[in-house]
Structure 1
């Protein structure tokens, strides 16, 4: 096998860089990278070929260029998911400029809507300061910080729809059993229903084009899979633009100035992209020349002449500056994993049949250089559960493979991306057929001679953490050990404690999992909750929980750990006070991976690098 890759190379690599964005005037390039031991924002003047850096501070997610091509906009939060948006002036002479808040402060969740091409002084932001359950839409002046109310939420609006020029054109309203897209009438500012669908349908807004005459949606209304449709806003006439034969259309990239759909993405196994705009088929031909890579457009200048792209594989990502007119790619950077790509394992799409003859898809990653059979294996379960595993670089998967484990990822029933029928097979099936799918994946790996039946661990975060606990509590004979990251232990209390702004999503949870307000549902939810099966947990267990988690409250993990310890059982529990629903800070990620490799080495016998000297630095942070 290849030499052990240090933990720090997976989670705290000083070569990390990402998020390349071209400014609207096309004269600057900005990205995030490590300088010293912390993230900084790098700004390159493309005309002068000079670069400066500014501290990113408590940076979260991606950033946007303001339309003045001077300021950038990004989000901050304290682990509680209450996003606050700030601007940073890239031309301030100070090397440590102050960020300026453009959305309300602590305790308010904001959502960035868009910049406005012809109005560089304003952006659109929605937030829940007035009512924690819903979001009002505001136009915010980033010079004066004054916010002007555009639309107040009457209590049932789940999304405001704006066109590329920042004009409010419509809204999506939700009732318990139905939703509707309502289009704004220009003369009266009232709303008229344009497109209706039931609670069982899924509809996603894509864009508005042709001066409001056309509207694009991803919809599975009257069909099994999500497809791209075009609506004529005057007549409501619907036209199919693009669909895929086996899976949902997972994403659409629309022209930032016109709203016209340009590229459709799908994930049947390896990622695929379809060019929708005939004018781009020649200049974007490189998309079809890399069948085993995913291309994503990160941003463009105001004229759509220069784009920043990401090209991703299971080994990492490379970033490019693309000149559309010249059809020329210029490499900008790469994830540090690309430096040791030859030692990383291959992620291979797989397809198996469940015990009730449902086709299950997923991915198998075998440790490079290991003997071909009877390997210790980690069943890594994705969260959601309305999510899916994809073919891409996954630091946790590659870390586990480098330690000597086969890694199996199963997109169990209920996972997104495979159509309505497949997702609805999960209704009422927590700790039942959803778990059977995972067990069927294990049986497949054992029957193929891939996995050692005595050395199988189950691990995951959120729903994946719940699945790990279900595995140890409901089918303890199958697993040697388990790792739970912020997984719910009491389903009824989980649903009762969801954040207030999930109000419009509760019908989904009630349908799939249960309504704790109904005695029969509550009893069924308790029967599927690991907390009430704790006596059956006998195998080694590692539990990791964020103290600021608002989705799965810390009490969920604390209750289970206390119950196990009161029964005299040993459980490794790490409560991280300043993390939320995910481990994001590099010192904590380092600790997470170190605990994981030592824990799995003890129960499965794989490799561990032992103490990583970056842990000394982590203690300082």
Structure 2
């Protein structure tokens, strides 16, 4: 069926080829929306939303019956917020933000009815968690007492979050549970009573712990590191919880109802088509019964249990054919709703809906100028293809509107994660921007993407740079075989893991891609694992399960093979690297290392670095400058369209982001330890023979020599033999190295005398004239030379000074 759909789309694209699609301004895609993120206050008296204030998206508010131009700003953040929401009594708006992308998140409260400060123009916001280098987490916001919320703070121990009760009106914190037990989640029932904790051990296994009346913790359920389970909600009388799990023989995650006292569970539901995991559970806060469930294969499908909700949903869908309808916000009595509509080629819109009168009133269009030209947007089509091992890979393909689907330049857009996230159908600014520039855009949901079952999810374990990369490669080949892609004009692009896949694509399949755009992608998995945030400690085993354990020889081998940095010599195509200096997940060092490696090999690499960003660009000017440069970069290599004009502020921002790669430096931490831990570097040694002249000067005397170096392999080891001829006769210096370039033995001989050396455990035993000496040893892998710390030994044999002196090189 998908093949037929794709063929039809190719035919239609060919029919409209003559209708030239206009070049849409990049600001339509990446500029600030006029209004977005609308929410009704729980009492229905207010509408809040996000709108630019001093160039940054902030929270605004207006009375329900007022016009939007009567709204007032509530926040004055210099960085876009992660999100915001109302307390249940409509008294406060709570929001969270960090500083310049460092992900040290604080929770703030603002009174929407308060008067504005004369200097800032907004009411005063209070930081409820005014702590540095702390990542606050929100577990529960009370409805019984809306002034109370349950949060986690890692102030005492950076790796683990203690449970606190926070009083919003005063900021008072009360410690509820000190986390000395590797607790990773806290679950509360409808009555806001703490019922279940989750504890994750060093192997990544998670145990659900029932909180008994006497505060004792009793194990009731367990998952391994390759399984997943979570509590979604509780039943009417709080006697059982809804558990979503794929434990044991289950492949697709399933909804159960579980009794925490008896540990018995009953299956409620799984995907009727048995294609995807359980998606979502919507509950009625009043009856505490299930309203509906959802599942997402290509598009999201809803299964309604409440007939009134089903009728409402069907009515709304009838008003917006071909688009998705989402219940964005509701009053607490479910009488009034904000509805969001949109689709792959439709600009989103927001409507007010009265459930009693069925009255539907347009509220705002986030991007009205995009709405005016949405007829030029491109359609996103679900496709699938087989990978190298026969695994079926789902993907989305967007063909540029108004162009024949033949020999097109292609951008493979790879999502991040990688384990768990996936791409979805719908409007995507990045996809539409690229399609408008004339590129076919492929978004593969490679193995390890979430939602397709446990086997598919875990099939990506230890496959970075291998089968996971093959899933992307075979997607490209699919487009080439269909005649859609011009094989000489294919780019790969992505963020986070997508950035890694970009580097891996250029390094491991250098003939496949014409260029790449790496956005905050790791280049060296060793340093990636060393620098993950402390509060990721619970997920360390999960990470090792994905890429390999760096504490084992097998893991080191896997990581070395998968890290693009160690194959940088194979990257021959142009590369654009984009990085945030404050990224806590993928540190700036990941970009710096690969930039230096390519620069030193004379390869073309562009580097954008934002000093005020983290894991991705959030600030509007940074984002627009980034895409402007990426647009030009792609146009120069794979010949898509390019908007040459650029506003002055964007141009100035781009100049600040651009880095002279000749100035980039990288200082590894713990150089000696890291040197010892580094895996072998490919192509450092090759079998062969070379000859060179050497002149040694000692005490004013010059001694010319001719040296012949022979490199060979013997019994699985490398043998490097230097035979030198000079005024004092012939000398031979032979070093035996194992495959990790660690020395096994060395023998230096001349005029019948020899100095044999045997190496073990970073120590050298040297036999000089019958006397044995022991010395510590440092191995410089980059130069393959040996440095003895007890250098005074060389003075014992003056007659071999000219070749002993080689040991002095460091």
Mapped pair 1:66 → 2:95? no
Aligned with residue 152 of structure 1, among 173, 178, 197: 178
Q: Determine the structure 2 residue equivalent to 1:112.
A: 138
Whole-angstrom CA distance in 2 between matches of 1:7 and 1:204: 41
Correspondence 1:162-311 to 2 at 5 A: 162-175=188-201, 176-185=203-212, 187-221=213-247, 222-244=249-271, 245-257=274-286, 259-278=288-307, 280-286=309-315, 289=318, 292-311=322-341
1:96 pairs with 2:126:
no
Q: CA deviation at 1:550?
A: 0.8
CA distance in 1, matches of 2:384, 2:441: 15
Deviations 1:61-84 (A, max 9, x none): 221102331320001101111111
**Contact persistence 1:283–1:325 (CA under 8 A):** no
Q: Return 248-257 or 208-217, whichever deviates more.
A: 248-257
Q: Secondary structure at 2:544's aligned position in 1?
A: helix
Tell me: CA distance 1:319–1:252, structure 2 relative to 1, closer, same or farther (3 Å): farther
| 8 A Cα contact 2:57 2:81, kept in partner | no
Q: Which moved more, 1:360-369 or 1:306-315?
A: 306-315
Which structure 2 segments of 5+ residues have no match? 1-19, 657-810
Match of 1:462 among 482, 496, 500: 496
Q: Alignment partner of 2:71: what SS?
A: strand
2-side partners of 1:278 and 1:230: how far apart? 22
Structure with greater contact order relative to length (CA < 8 Å, sep ≥ 6): 1
- Equivalent residue number for residue 375 of structure 1: 408
User: Residues 7 and 612 of structure 1 are in contact (CA less than 8 Å); yes or no, is this contact kept in structure 2?
Assistant: no
Question: Per-residue CA shift, 1:300-335, capped at 9, x if unaligned?
Answer: 323232233333311342223333344444332233
Which digits, 9 at most, give the CA deviation of each residue in 1:516-553, with x for residues without a partner? 11132112201211100011111000000110011111
> Hey, what's the Cα distance between the residues in 1 that align with 2:80 and 2:286?
27
Distance (whole Å) between structure 2 residues aligned to residue 605 and residue 564 of structure 1: 24
Query: Among residues 340, 343, 359, which one is paired with 1:313 in the alignment?
Result: 343
Q: Provide the rounded CA distance (Å) in 1 between the counterparts of 2:485 and 2:57.
A: 40
Shift of residue 196, structure 1, vs aligned partner: 2.3
For the residues of structure 2 that align with 1:299 and 1:154, how far apart are their CA atoms?
38
Q: 1:34-70, CA deviations, whole angstroms, 9 ceiling, x for partnerless residues?
A: 3563324221212566633334413422211023313
Query: Larger deviation: 535-544 or 423-432?
Result: 423-432
In the superposition, relative to structure 1, how do residues 512 and 35 fare at CA in structure 2: closer, same or farther (>3 Å)? Answer: closer
Contact 1:163 1:259 in 2 (8 A): no
1:207–1:259 CA contact under 8 A, matched in 2: no
Deviation at 1:294, TM superposition (A): 3.6
Distance 1:97 1:335, change over 3 A: same
User: Among residues 351, 358, 362, which one is paired with 1:331 in the alignment?
Assistant: 362
Partner-residue secondary structure (3-state), 2:199: strand
Q: How far apart in 2 are the matches of 1:209 and 1:327?
A: 30
Shift of 1:476: 0.5
Aligned partners of 2:383 and 2:396 also within 8 Å: yes
Aligned 8 A contact 2:80 2:618 in 1:
no
Count of residue pairs brought into register by the alignment: 619
Structure-2 change in CA distance of 1:327 and 1:179 (3 Å): farther
- C-alpha root-mean-square deviation of aligned residues, in Å? 2.1
- Note the C-alpha offset of 1:573: 0.6
Deviation at 1:146, TM superposition (A): 0.5
After superposition, give the CA deviation of every residue in 1:133-176 in whole Å (9 maximum; x if it has no partner): 11112111111110112222223211110124432221112222
| 8 Å contact kept, 1:367–1:405 | yes
Of residues 551, 570, 592 in structure 1, which corresponds to 2:626? Answer: 592
Q: Secondary structure at the match of 1:468?
A: helix
- Larger mean Cα displacement after TM superposition, 37-46 or 350-359: 37-46
Question: Partners of 2:196 and 2:21 in 1: how far apart?
Answer: 55
- CA drift of 1:287 comes to 6.5
Q: Is the 8 A contact 1:169 1:212 kept in 2?
A: no
1:375-427 deviation line (CA, Å, top 9, x unaligned): 00001111111211110211111000000100011111111111011112112
- Asked if 1:354 is matched to 2:391, the reply is no
Computing the radius of gyration from Cα coordinates, the structure with the larger value is 2
Q: Distance in 2 between matches of 1:150 and 1:201?
A: 29
Distance in 2 of aligned mates of 1:594 and 1:580: 19
Give distance in 1, aligned partners of 2:221 and 2:415.
33
For residue 133 of structure 1, what is the aligned residue in structure 2? 159
Q: In the alignment, is the contact (CA less than 8 A) between 1:66 and 1:115 conserved in 2?
A: yes
Query: Normalising by the residue count of structure 2, what TM-score does the alignment of the two structures yield?
Result: 0.73
